[in-house]
A and B are shown apart, each in its own frame.
Chain A
């Protein structure tokens, strides 16, 4: 495995569904790549687009957001807000030449441990294929540069 690019992926997972699905994947001993750094949110709608961009800035090669299936949001309609926000963030990424495949929104219920493992697997491989994001800060050349 050495030498192979190991992507870093930030995951923002709703506590009620995807996080529980991740637990289920764990308790049923399903294997999935360790590349995702999960952060549990109360709802996918808690995910501020700033976190996504910041995660990319901070070195994530991919970002995955997991919420409850449409109609199932624990807080009724949070996931619809998430959906709209993510669509816009993807449009933004397109303009910034960041492959929109690096951002993924998935509906994974608490019962879907298998789906969780599969998606993480899939996404990790997709990001691996896309390669490192390398979103370095631009620096003004010359000496005395501050940034």
Chain B
């Protein structure tokens, strides 16, 4: 990839940014780069950035294939428009980067995979108390009005990460990607220093490696507690205080921003390279250390009761990763 960049782009790189199904936080993250963004602008042309510039899809369609050097794509694929634009940008960009957790793993929008389109529509358009549902209105791909036909993108049954619809070259993980990781990536791009295709542009170790909390020789989890149940000691490992922290199963690179705020890691940077399913791995780790000194004395019933304290396994272990998990959506009835 790096070679392609060097050969074709001359002195100024051509960039694109796109925002699919996501909260917009990734766009803010780009702005969080602050004055450093100016360095980028100084050495690059931004050809497409709907949130900041008035460019039309038509303008993109008009570009020759591979015209853009790098496209940062954030947001998951929720509807036909996102998919279509993803395919378009893929064609027009030399390097496509899945930017942020939504594009990478589906993220919070991916939790909608616990439901299908029907259920989402029912909740959003019919059962919402603040809506007047007397007309039973809901989005349709085609609506006939006096003036002619109106069309809307098709809302898919499920949410997909970007690489489920197009080939992705790199991933910038995080919700949103931490600024240092963005800068590293951009620097690598400018320096023609990108790693092999498919890489996640973040450290390979898990968050525990960065975490400054006290480490003990052997990790034990005494109980399962929710964050509001105790005043967590900011010096001690969350797990050892009974609070589920996804840190051990989550890629480092965020500089422990949640941990520093005395909140446990919820896993936004996704799994480390050897792991396919972050949630399953965390389940396994948790089962290994939970009451490890008392496990022999506990009856199966007591063990079950203890594990019942994990109120929402999907929300706990797959907050960001459901759409890319081994089983990535609820089974249809």
Contact = CB atoms under 8 A, between A and B. Distances in A.
A–B contact (CB under 8 angstroms): yes
Contacts of B280: 48-50, 52-53, 89
B307 interface: yes
Given A85-B283, A87-B307, A50 B277 contact: yes
A81 B287 contact: yes
Interface of B: 77, 80, 83-84, 87, 113-114, 154, 156-158, 160, 163-167, 275-277, 279-281, 283-284, 286-288, 290, 295-296, 298, 300, 303-304, 307, 310, 312-314, 317, 325-333
Contacts of B156: 140-141
B287 A88 contact: yes
Given A138-B160, A144-B87, 13 more contacts: A48-B280, A50-B284, A80-B303, A81-B287, A83-B303, A85-B287, A95-B314, A96-B327, A96-B329, A133-B331, A142-B80, A145-B83, A145-B165
B164 to A, nearest CB: 4
18 contacts: A54-B276, A57-B326, A71-B296, A81-B295, A84-B287, A84-B295, A88-B307, A89-B283, A95-B313, A96-B327, A97-B333, A135-B327, A138-B157, A138-B160, A138-B329, A146-B165, A146-B166, A146-B167
Given A141-B156, A147-B165, A53 B330 contact: no
A140 B295 contact: no
A147 B164 CA distance: 5
A48 B310 CA distance: 19
Interface residues of A, number: 37
A39 interface: no
A141 B80 contact: yes
A108 to B, nearest CB: 16
Given A50-B276, A140-B160, A144-B87, A77 B283 contact: no
